[in-house]
């Protein structure tokens, strides 16, 4: 499949999703409380069969899904993506019992999933995790903190990564599925710039057993990286969706806004800026599609991490650029609470940090380039 052009059927599907997001999901999002899990919105995503696609879609289809939802309703896109991030480790590394217990409810939007990796002292450096899994008979007790966890503390279960100590660094981390009601687990919401739910979790001797493990002992880092490699190109797609929404709003505004005896679009400085916004958005979009297509061809191919990192880096940085310039061209109206661009301006900042900050993506890209050139660094 060529990655530089979508088939007509794909374009039609994306268009229907954009309309669905604006007409059906946006009203539900507007009724939600910022910073809290919106369960009616999740239920609608399940009813429409969109959560099911998290488990059945290839990477390119997932990118189209996330980009299209982001264009019409960023809250719906984020709710869907967080379900995928929290549940993918269960799908890829969970036992049959774990999958049967949790995944049907995730697909229906009845159970809220969360991916609990970041800690106060371990964000971009995921190998530096400090949450301890201390042996306790046949199982362990989790002690420590997680922070900046999307869907916390409102999730029904958490994919938690803790240090079991089989080896130093990344090789001593194990993944666990921890239900929200487990003794010793508490949480609190964090008041963040981004409007989606984010919180902190405290583990005070939370008991987990072999039946709660996702994958084998010491395999947690592999589980985490497998999930992130799966979703990084689609984080870029989320960013592209926001960029395209901001670009379209800017085209409409500058073509109709009267100024200096004409409209804004008549000014060369404005027209050139819009052209730059459009060019960068299209470049990011194509790189996201190329990374997703590479993952679909062979998720274990050596170029997949580099492509995924490039896609996330360029798309998230581009979206920040496009939204910022869209605000500038709209003027003060774009800063008014409730304006599309005011909303996008708050939404667009976080993707440059989560699931690997831009600086981490550059490090990944450079390492892969040097490795491909036969240079060990």
Give the pLDDT confidence of 150-163 residue by residue, as tens digits: 999 999 999 999 99
165: left (phi over 0), alpha (psi -120 to 50) or beta: left
Q: Is the pLDDT of residue 377 over 70?
A: no
Q: Are 281 and 244 in contact (CB under 8 A)?
A: yes
**Backbone phi, then psi, for 204, in 5-degree steps?**
-115, 80
CA 251 to chain centre: 27
Sign of CA dihedral 26, 357, 87, 208: negative
Predicted local confidence at residue 376, as pLDDT:
62
Share of the chain above pLDDT 70, in %: 98
Q: Among 218, 242, 263, where does a domain finish?
A: 218
Confidence of residue 139 (pLDDT cuts 50, 70, 90): very high
pLDDT averaged over every residue in the chain: 94
Tell me whether residue 227 is in a domain.
Answer: yes
% pLDDT > 90, the chain: 85
Confirm if 78 and 239 have CB atoms less than 8 A apart: no
Which of the residues are catalytic?
A: 355
Q: Do both 197 and 332 map to the same domain?
A: no
- Shared domain check, 138 and 96: no
Q: Does a structural domain hold residue 377? A: no
- The answer on 335 and 252 residing in a single domain is yes
User: What is the radius of gyration, based on Cα positions, of the chain?
Assistant: 21
User: Is 149 found in the same domain as 271?
Assistant: no
Confidence bin at 333 (pLDDT 50/70/90) = very high
Number of domains in the chain: 3
Instruction: Report the alpha-carbon distance of residue 222 to residue 93 in Å, rounded.
Output: 10
Alpha helices in the chain (DSSP H): 8-20, 26-31, 39-47, 53-56, 59-72, 74-93, 96-108, 220-256, 268-297, 304-330, 340-347, 358-372
> What is the CATH classification number for the domain harbouring 136?
2.40.110.10
Q: What is the pLDDT of residues 179-229, one digit of tens each?
A: 999 999 999 999 988 878 999 999 999 999 999 999 999 999 999 988 888
| In a domain? residue 172 | yes
Quick one: 208 and 250 in the same domain?
no
- Phi, psi (5° rounding) for residue 374? 80, 15
2 within a domain of the structure (yes/no): no
Helix axes 59-72, 220-256, angle to 10 degrees: 40
Instruction: Indicate whether 117 and 75 sit together in one domain.
Output: no
- Residue 124 predicted with pLDDT over 90: no
Lowest mean pLDDT among 125-129, 247-251, 289-293, 319-323: 125-129
In a domain, 1, yes or no: no
Residue 3 has pLDDT above 60, yes or no: no
What is the structure's pLDDT at 1? 47
Do 60 and 192 lie in one domain? The reply is no
Residue where the block lists tokens 């405290």: 202
Rounded mean pLDDT, 89-106: 97
Q: Which of 74, 89, 108 is the last residue of a domain?
A: 108
Contact 82, 106 (CB under 8 A): no
- pLDDT, mean of residues 238-262: 97
Q: Is residue 318 a contact partner of residue 327, using CB atoms and an 8 Å limit?
A: no
Assess whether the previous peptide bond of 65 is cis (omega < 30° from 0).
Answer: no
- CATH code for the domain of 19: 1.10.540.10
Contact 211, 147 (CB under 8 A): no
The model's pLDDT over 278-314, given as tens digits with 9 standing for 90+, comes to 999 999 999 999 999 999 999 889 998 899 999 999 9
In this predicted model, what pLDDT tens digit does every residue of 35-76 receive, in sequence order?
899 999 999 999 999 999 999 999 999 999 999 999 999 999
End-to-end CA distance of the chain: 35
pLDDT band at 268 (very low <50, low <70, confident <90, very high): very high
User: Lowest-pLDDT range, 77-81, 123-127, 225-229?
Assistant: 123-127
Domain CATH number, residue 334: 1.20.140.10
Please check whether residue 228 is in contact with residue 309, taking contact to mean a CB–CB distance below 8 angstroms: no
One domain, residues 214 and 230? no
Around Cβ 147, how many Cβ atoms within 10 Å?
18
Residue 141 lies in a domain: yes
Of 218, 239, 274, which one is at a domain's C-terminal end?
218
**Residue 167 DSSP symbol:** S
Residue 135 lies in domain: 113-218
Same domain flag for 230 and 324: yes
Flag whether 131 is in a domain: yes
Residues 303 and 256 in one domain: yes
- Say yes or no to pLDDT of 23 above 80: yes
pLDDT in tens, 363-376: 999 999 999 888 76
Looking at residue 65, its pLDDT comes to 97
**CA dist list (Å): 103 to 49, 50, 107, 224:** 14, 14, 6, 18
The DSSP bridge pattern shows strands 113-116 and 157-163 to be parallel
Q: Does residue 357 form part of some domain?
A: yes
The string of DSSP letters for 90-127 reads HHHH--HHHHHHHHHHHHHT-S-EEEE--BTTBSS-GG
Minimal CA–CA distance to 88: which of 98, 76, 77? 98
Q: Are 285 and 341 in a shared domain?
A: yes
What pLDDT was estimated at residue 4? 66
Q: Which of the 8 DSSP states describes residue 23?
A: I
Same domain, 237 and 350: yes
């Amino acid at each position: 499949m060529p990655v530089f052009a979508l088939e007509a059927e794909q374009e039609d599907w994306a268009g229907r999703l954009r309309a669905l997001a604006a007409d059906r999901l946006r009203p539900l999002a507007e009724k939600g409380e910022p910073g809290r899990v919106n369960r009616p919105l999740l239920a609608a995503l399940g009813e429409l069969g969109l959560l099911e696609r998290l488990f059945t879609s290839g990477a390119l289809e997932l990118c189209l899904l996330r980009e299209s939802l982001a264009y019409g309703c960023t809250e719906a896109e984020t709710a869907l993506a967080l379900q995928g991030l929290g549940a993918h480790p269960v799908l890829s590394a969970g036992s049959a019992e774990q999958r049967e217990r949790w995944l049907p409810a995730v697909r229906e939007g009845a159970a809220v999933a969360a991916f609990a990796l970041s800690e106060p002292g371990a964000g971009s450096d995921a190998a530096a995790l400090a949450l301890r899994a201390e042996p306790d008979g046949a199982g362990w007790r989790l002690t420590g903190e997680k922070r900046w966890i999307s869907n916390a503390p409102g999730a029904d279960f958490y994919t938690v990564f803790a240090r079991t100590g089989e080896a130093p660094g990344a090789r001593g981390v194990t993944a666990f599925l921890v239900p929200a009601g487990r003794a010793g687990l508490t949480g609190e919401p964090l008041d963040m710039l981004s409007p989606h739910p984010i919180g902190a979790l405290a583990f005070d001797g939370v008991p987990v057993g072999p039946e709660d493990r996702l994958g084998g002992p010491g395999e947690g880092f592999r589980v985490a990286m497998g999930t992130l490699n799966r979703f990084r190109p689609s984080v870029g797609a989320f960013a592209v969706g926001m960029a395209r929404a901001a670009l379209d709003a800017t085209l409409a505004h500058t073509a109709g806004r009267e100024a200096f005896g004409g409209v804004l679009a008549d000014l060369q400085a404005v027209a050139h800026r819009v052209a730059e916004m459009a060019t960068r958005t299209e470049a990011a979009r194509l790189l996201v599609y190329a990374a997703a297509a590479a993952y679909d061809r062979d998720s274990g191919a050596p170029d997949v991490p580099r492509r995924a990192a490039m896609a996330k880096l360029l798309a998230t940085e581009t979206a920040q650029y496009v939204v910022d310039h869209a605000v500038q061209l709209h003027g003060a109206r774009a800063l008014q609470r409730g304006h599309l661009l005011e909303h996008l301006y708050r939404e667009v900042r976080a993707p440059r940090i989560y699931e690997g900050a831009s600086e981490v993506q550059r490090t990944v890209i450079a390492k892969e380039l040097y490795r491909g050139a036969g240079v060990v660094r």
